[in-house]
Amino acid sequence: MDELSKLTVLEAAELAKLLKGKWQPSKGRKMINDEGVQDQSAAAYFGEQLAAFKKETELSSRISRSIGGQMTSERIGWSQWIHLRLCIAADSLIRVANFHERIQNGEVCTLDQSTIASIVRGMIEATAMIAYMTEPSMTDSDWKFKRLVICLHDATTRYKMFKGWKNLTESDGHRNNMDQLKAEIQSTVEFNGLPKDIQDKVLSGQVIYLRGLRSAIRLMDWDVDDFSSVYAYLSSHAHSSPVSFIRLGKHGVDFLKPTGAQYATAGFAIEQGCNVLKFATDRMLALFPDATKNITEVKTPTPPPDRIERI
């Protein structure tokens, strides 16, 4: 990420303009196929996408730090935290993708395309949540209802989690919270205007997005069919489902020298990651238009001496 370490305010503003482009389908879709792809072309694609991703991560991280502490409301604050997590995930991805550097340092490693795909899958979900919580047309009343649904999902998940661990003190507390949230939800105009099937799903505590994850994807101006295909492919690597391993032999993958198939999967995932990080950072810039003004002055604070010792 050193190439942007001296980013000027003007350069940051110009790069920020790039975030406002319409969502573009992946360049690497044709590389994901049953027959595989040439090692050289796939490696070049991977390198191109990683370079772009590094630049986007540098800009996004600097903007995230520049808006830290400027929370204007709870939902904006939550969105800022998720954006920060996106930047951290992006940095983790870069560390995984920089396997060549590790090899040069004498480590035994290779390209881990499945971990890269898994990280990007999480980045997509995080960005969808940002889009959902910062929808420009959302009213205060809309958000209050969405917040209740989100809190019910949290309480339900924690109830089941602690119940499974036989922690009755925690599980009983969350069970009571669930009952209170359900009563509050049922009293709202928004709930009573929903179809019966959606009402039932909401009260089950399993709903995060009122109209499903794909409703949030639409807020990102991402074609839902394209998203569904991308998400299914990345999920196969996150869950070690057949799509992620059945063709390893056919594609010559031995996890020693990376093959075209590995480079194609990693590059494809990184391209998706760059797209969602751009969207999320664009949304932060829309919420905090002055974010780029002091971007060159933003520095990571030095930890106090006692913390440095612990680190």
Summarize pLDDT for 74-90 with one digit per residue, the tens. 999 999 999 999 999 99
Report the percent of the chain where pLDDT is more than 90: 70
Amino acid, single-letter form, for residue 136: P
Measure the CA–CA gap between 24 and 1, rounded to whole angstroms: 24
Contacts of 72 (CB under 8 A, 6+ apart): 287
Question: Global pTM?
Answer: 0.86
Residue 309, in any domain of the structure: no
Decide if 205 contacts 155 (C-beta within 8 A): yes
Mean pLDDT for 233-253 is 93
**Residue 310 pLDDT:** 29
**Residue 303 pLDDT:** 41
Residue 76, in any domain of the structure: yes
**Residue 22 pLDDT:** 55
Residue span of the structural domain in which 74 resides: 2-298
Contacts of 10 (CB under 8 A, 6+ apart): none
Q: What is the DSSP string of 79-112?
A: HHHHHHHHHHHHHHHHHHH-HHHHHHTT------
Residue showing tokens 């990683």: 50
Measure the CA–CA gap between 165 and 171, rounded to whole angstroms: 9
- Is 279's pLDDT higher than 70? yes
Average pLDDT, the chain: 87
Neighbours of 5 (CB within 10 A): 9
**Residue 24 pLDDT:** 72
Residue 227, in any domain of the structure: yes
- Is 103's pLDDT higher than 80? yes
Measure the CA–CA gap between 293 and 297, rounded to whole angstroms: 9
Tally: H helices and E strands in the chain: 13, 0
- Is 183's pLDDT higher than 80? yes
Residue 259, in any domain of the structure: yes
CA quadruple 305, 67, 155, 237: dihedral, nearest 10: -90
Measure the CA–CA gap between 185 and 244, rounded to whole angstroms: 41
Measure the CA–CA gap between 215 and 133, rounded to whole angstroms: 12
Confidence class of residue 273 from pLDDT cuts 50, 70 and 90? very high
| pLDDT tens, residue by residue, 140-168 | 999 999 999 999 999 999 999 999 999 99
Q: Which segment of 64-73, 119-128, 178-187 scores lowest on mean pLDDT? A: 64-73
Residue 310, in any domain of the structure: no
Give CA angle at 288 (58, 226), nearest 5°.
65
Residue 303, in any domain of the structure: no
Mean pLDDT for 243-267 is 91
Residue 304, in any domain of the structure: no
Residue 35, in any domain of the structure: yes
**Residue 294 pLDDT:** 63
More confident position, 289 or 12: 289
Measure the CA–CA gap between 262 and 197, rounded to whole angstroms: 42
| pLDDT tens, residue by residue, 9-40 | 444 444 445 444 556 778 788 888 867 777 88
Neighbours of 192 (CB within 10 A): 10
CA-wise closest residue to 279 among 97, 126, 50, 88: 126
Mean pLDDT for 285-302 is 67
Q: How many domains does the chain have?
A: 1
Contacts of 60 (CB under 8 A, 6+ apart): 83, 86, 87, 90, 277, 280, 281
